[in-house]
Chains A and B, each alone.
Chain A
Amino acid sequence: MFGWIYIALCSLLVMFAILMVSARRPISSAVFLVLTLIGIGVLYLMMNAPLVATLQWLVYAGAIMVLFVFVVMLFQLRELNPTSISTHPGRFALLLLLGGGFLGLCLKGVIVGLQEQPVIMMGQTLVTGEASLKDFSLLLFSKHVFAFELLSVVLLATLVGAILLARRKQRVS
């Protein structure tokens, strides 16, 4: 029962992810990305990690994607013209090779996982319960505080980079 729910959810997630890439309207892309992120949160929930799941929903699906959708709606981006995608045979072959290889690796992982443990995720505990919420926070703010603060510097760097790129483009045009 659990395994079937897992497989169904994963198929749905892969479908959403493909739809996100292949959707022609930017807003549809954004919506499918939201659905994918929510689905990943459900996966965390099935791994018995409600804290990670709710943080995934709150931060990614809730906060960041709201910003994305806002921007996409405000700028009314045009639909992607399908002819603008390169159909050069050499590049197509390369993409096919890379994509096929990646898919093969993923499938191998799934098959090995299924052979070793029929229900992969059941009973594995990452972050459960009240005590571990406390432990998680203590670890985050004591042992890993340097990495945690470093991540915020990365975010700042992204912000500065985005402003830089936007300004340079403005000067050229």
Chain B
Amino acid sequence: MNELIVHFGIAVLLFAVQAQIVPVLIWLERRGAGFIQDRLGPNRVGPLGLFQPLADALKLLFKQDVVPTQVHTLFFLIAPAVVVGLAAMSVATIPFGDTFTLMGQTYVLQVADVPVGLLYLLAIGSFSVYGIMLGGWASSNKYALFGAMRASAQMISYELGLGIGMASIVLLYSTFDIRDIVLAQQAGLLSWGIIQAPWIFVLLLVTIFAETNRLPFDLAEGEAEIVGFHVEYSSMKFALFFMAEYMHMFVGSVLLVAFFFGGWALPGVSYVNLTSWLQSFIGGSFEIASVLTVLLQLGVVIAKTFVILWIFIWVRWSFPRFRYDQLMRFGWQGVLPYAILSFVLTAACVYVKG
């Protein structure tokens, strides 16, 4: 029973981390936009404008929630929930820290340590098309339907590149288990994926940008020029789609950290030594020391994640949006051949190394 409670606690902790990243990210995005465009950004609510997302959320919650009369009510209502729910589910197989001991039992800081973690992520990723399609279709609005078609065609096209990139990762580390992938990178900086295979990093970064509908790929929701799939949504339901986008961004960044930047690894830091040092520092209990170490690892992962997230924000405010035909041509004639090439290159490297 204790075991079940600890597992539940881990799940709650990691979900809380993911959910609480969203407002921080929104603040970072708006302040970052201000910084890049040489203006201030929101700085009135709270210190440094940190409470601005809270105020936004309050505003969105209290806005009038319109359900148009022509919509298919059930699908219209569940579509945002599907999108956010899938975004929350995708964090389940990502490791945020190594093992720790509690009440004589050993746990890992991961919701589910399954041997097919990568496949699970791809499966959840392919489900997330449903939320967008349902939302667009249920709105009974031609423009929303077109928007949904556009968004899902984009996601399906770039899923190919993503899938092949994941296959290259599997080839490189010869495992489907994300925890094993991170563990393979603990032997110093040279064993990190970014040194081993930087070409896969480029591929995965681009496809994750497209999958999360971030600029320059944000045709799904380009507010100014084209009508997105969520044109009939209002108030918090509208905001949930964007919340899911930020959650996807977080998951994608954590994945990139796990694949290429060694997860919780810090060059020159041995966590085993750190645990024993902590144990002697606080005196006695190994369990407390191991829990502290794991929390430190969680902090390291999140710090690395924020570096990648900053790249997301940086790109958003630096590049203009693709046109739809450019997007499709780039996806099928640029990303897909590059993905296949990078797969072959990875295979050759693995073969040469033996």
Contact = CB atoms under 8 A, between A and B. Distances in A.
A27 B74 CA distance: 12
B134 A31 contact: yes
A77 to B, nearest CB: 12
A69 B152 CA distance: 11
B155 to A, nearest CB: 9
Given A50-B115, A130-B176, A133-B176, A73 B133 contact: yes
Interface string A55-83: 10110011100100110011000000000
Contacts of A58: 119, 122-123, 126
B156 A133 contact: no
* Chain A at the B interface: SS class: helix
A66 B134 CA distance: 11
Interface residues of B, number: 26
A61 B134 CA distance: 15
Interface residues of A, number: 22
A51 B148 CA distance: 31
Contacts of B177: 130
A133 B115 contact: yes
B115 A129 contact: yes
A20 interface: no
Contact of A51 (B119, B137, B149, B175): B119
A62 B127 contact: yes
B329 to A, nearest CB: 21
Interface in B118-134: 119-120, 122-124, 126-127, 129-130, 133-134
**CB-based closest 6 A-B pairs:** A62-B126, A57-B123, A54-B119, A58-B123, A130-B115, A54-B116
14 contacts: A50-B114, A50-B120, A51-B115, A51-B119, A57-B124, A58-B126, A61-B127, A66-B126, A69-B130, A69-B133, A130-B115, A130-B175, A130-B177, A133-B115
Given A51-B116, A58-B119, 15 more contacts: A31-B75, A54-B116, A57-B120, A57-B124, A58-B123, A61-B127, A62-B122, A66-B152, A66-B156, A69-B133, A70-B133, A73-B148, A73-B149, A130-B176, A130-B177
